[in-house]
Amino acid sequence: VHKLRDMEAVSVLFAVCQMGDRVVLVARSRKPEVDAGALMREFGGGGHHYAASATVKNATIFQIREKILRTLAEKIIPRRTAADLMASPVRHASVENTMTDVHYLLTRYNINVVPVFRKEETVGIITRQVVEKALFHGLGNESVEEYMNTDFDTVGPQEGIERVQEIIIGKNQRLIPVVSDGQVTGIITRTGFLRFLHDVRDVVQPGPEEDIPSEGVLARKKLIHNLMRELLPVRVFDLLAGAGEVAERLGMKAYVVGGFVRDLVMRNHNIDADIVVEGDGIAFSEAFSQEYPCRVRPHHKFGTAVLVFPDGYKIDVATARVEYYREPAALPTVEYSSLKLDLYRRDFTINTLAVRLNPGVFGELIDFFGGQRDIKERVLRILHSLSFVEDPSRILRAMRFERRFGFAIGRHTQNLIRNTVRLDLIERLPKPRLFSELELILKEEEPIGILKRLASFGIGPSLHPKITLDKAQIALLEETSEILVWFSLLFLEEKVERWAVLFLALLNPLSPEEAKKFAADLGIGRWLRDWVRLAKDDATDITHRLLSARVVSRKFVYDCLNPLPNEVILYLMAKAKSNDIKRYISLYFTQLKYVRPIIKGKDLQALGYSPGPLYKEIMDEVLERKFVGDLRTKADEMSFVLSHFPKS
């Protein structure tokens, strides 16, 4: 019967079998409304809610079948619906309300969450937590429409409890509007639903584990021990297991968290592990280093440490902590906390997954905020409505993750991005933090797509007023990308910093002085600041020299371009409107750059030439002749020197 139920995927099944003078009944139920035990007791049998049986003498199968149908009509528990749980009338905010207005509403009625109406339609949900954070950041006069959660589910009055449970527990939605014919007739709150579960907990007692129903329940924990063993290098797996054992002995709890777990679930390669400890991260690190040879670099202010192994491999360790921001775009203030609060301070739901490391629970995946669901649905969602206000750099990260993983930014998250851009909060970011995110974008495999996405939200001017990311600038960036592909196909020994070439192209609309100031404000390295200067000053002069020269010899092309870094030359090639410039640069990389005289100074000395300025004159002349193919061997070069530079 059990196998038949599973094969047919039915929720309630009765099996009736004639065996001699007896009829055997077996009942299975996955529905709270159908109590198998109560039904079988009507036939002299028994059991529990989900599984029961009975034996009846001196009856036929047809008699039993008819009695089952009659008994079902009498004994079936009325199906609980959303209408049974909802509260009415509905206290609500309006899209015209400010955050201060909503705070007054929440306080007046002592509630923690309300729907937001536009006329009679529910268009969002706002929580006390979001409202109070907004007031803390001085956003009390902002419209509630800017920060309400617009990504929510509704139910109809006749919707079953399973659906309510899925939304409140599975999707972590604190309030569900109950909608009938387009009108909100009531709301179901998380507190109300939990109270309902408490009230009915004794009505339905589950039987053996195999009979517990799974409909409407989304698992928030699961074991990924085997996945870890399959995907992780043995050494990394053993280090994580060892971390759990050390934490256990210290009476602490250790977890591997964040992007490492995200990529594990997505089956992407990533061995950059971050461990969070509920306890003392530095004490844990010191104890770990006693058993696994590594150096500990502690940061006592934040309770963090870096474990550095002899081969250079690193593991970051942090004490579980919570962050809050004193003002928008400010650096966070840190306090120690629990794992859940530590994960809540992160950027996106997909980065909030954690895996237990302690023995006995090793490999148990923890998902407080629906990260598994969003990975499955390929949606990028922010954790709370003020996340971008607190750290606007997360907007650039959202664009980067969206492109890298092939996800779509959630509707509510998109609304929050637009609002943050409207408030010009990105401009408040410390410029070095802004550059860190920009550099990561330019290092992605498809940076142009990310920059186009930034343009679609109007983010360019937030970086610099002249970085508009308009069609002309995007066209230059695309041309730069194509030039970089061309260069890579030359298979030269020298590699280039691809992202730096794109950075120079990004700064193309800026004047030389603006570009130098912007580069300095970003806090970039001296080498990149020098490249910006060369790209803005020398490159323009070189272009003019190449185009205005009456005769452009190979040696002249070499002398013009050779002082510049490859990255600056490639930027010059991308921005050049003249095909002559592109041809000269192509010639330089393919035929000139790596040509060198075979003879050395010691050879000239052996020929009787005294060291001095003459050596440079000789080498330049030899190089020019090599460019045109006159000198191929060392003997050719020495013969040329003797014939063209008589010894005094």
pLDDT, tens digit, for every residue of 20-66? 889 999 999 887 778 888 899 999 998 888 889 999 998 889 889 99
**Region 354-374: what's the mean pLDDT?**
92
Its domain, for residue 63, covers 2-75
Angle at 418 between CA 415 and CA 422, to 5 degrees: 140
Q: List the CATH number of the domain containing 45.
A: 3.10.310.30
Q: Are residues 26 and 99 in the same domain?
A: no
Report the distance separating Cα 646 and Cα 607, nearest Å.
Answer: 11
Residue written as tokens 């109300």?
192
Report residue 207's pLDDT band, with 50, 70 and 90 as the boundaries: very low
Q: Are residues 249 and 327 in the same domain?
A: yes
Report residue 220's pLDDT band, with 50, 70 and 90 as the boundaries: low
Report residue 194's pLDDT band, with 50, 70 and 90 as the boundaries: confident
Question: 240 lies in a domain?
Answer: yes
Q: Are residues 229 and 311 in the same domain?
A: yes
Question: 64 lies in a domain?
Answer: yes
Closest to 293 (Cα-Cα) out of 276, 307, 273, 272: 307
Question: 412 lies in a domain?
Answer: no
* Predicted local confidence at residue 328, as pLDDT: 66
Q: Are residues 41 and 125 in the same domain?
A: no
* Predicted local confidence at residue 611, as pLDDT: 87
**Domain end marker among 12, 41, 75:** 75
Is residue 294 within 8 A of residue 307, CB to CB? The reply is yes
Q: Are residues 67 and 86 in the same domain?
A: no
**Region 199-223: what's the mean pLDDT?**
42
Kindly compute the dihedral angle of the four CA atoms of residues 54, 56, 59, 61, in this order, to the nearest 10 degrees. Answer: 20
Question: 555 lies in a domain?
Answer: no
Buried b (16+ CB within 10 A) or exposed e, 335-367: ebbebeebbbbbbbbbbbbbbbbbeebbbbbbb
Q: Are residues 34 and 164 in the same domain?
A: no
Q: Are residues 345 and 233 in the same domain?
A: yes
Is residue 68 within 8 A of residue 37, CB to CB? The reply is no
Q: List the CATH number of the domain containing 327.
A: 3.30.460.10
Question: 420 lies in a domain?
Answer: no
Q: Are residues 266 and 364 in the same domain?
A: yes
**Residue 337 structure tokens:** 């906390």
Q: What is the average pLDDT score of the chain?
A: 89
Question: 396 lies in a domain?
Answer: no
Question: 457 lies in a domain?
Answer: no
Q: Are residues 333 and 295 in the same domain?
A: yes
* DSSP β-ladder status, 304-308 and 408-409: unpaired
Angle at 333 between CA 331 and CA 339, to 5 degrees: 115
The pTM is what? Answer: 0.73
Q: Are residues 187 and 286 in the same domain?
A: no
Report the distance separating Cα 136 and Cα 128, nearest Å.
Answer: 12
**Residue 187 structure tokens:** 């709301």
* Predicted local confidence at residue 152, as pLDDT: 94
Q: Are residues 117 and 181 in the same domain?
A: yes
- Radius of gyration of the chain from its Cα atoms, rounded to whole angstroms: 35
Closest to 229 (Cα-Cα) out of 238, 242, 218: 238
Closest to 225 (Cα-Cα) out of 270, 264, 185: 264
Please tell me what DSSP assigns to residue 45: -
Report the distance separating Cα 475 and Cα 304, nearest Å.
Answer: 44
Please tell me the total count of domains within the chain: 4
Closest to 347 (Cα-Cα) out of 375, 384, 315: 384
Is residue 458 within 8 A of residue 421, CB to CB? The reply is yes
CB-neighbour burial class of residue 15 (10 A; exposed 0-12, middle 13-18, buried 19+): middle
* Predicted local confidence at residue 342, as pLDDT: 85
Q: 211 or 291: whose pLDDT is higher?
A: 291
* Predicted local confidence at residue 116, as pLDDT: 96
**Domain end marker among 47, 75, 103:** 75
Q: Are residues 147 and 188 in the same domain?
A: yes
The identity of residue 494, as a single letter, is: E
Report the distance separating Cα 194 and Cα 302, nearest Å.
Answer: 37
Displacement of CA 175 from its chain's centroid (Å): 26
Question: 348 lies in a domain?
Answer: yes
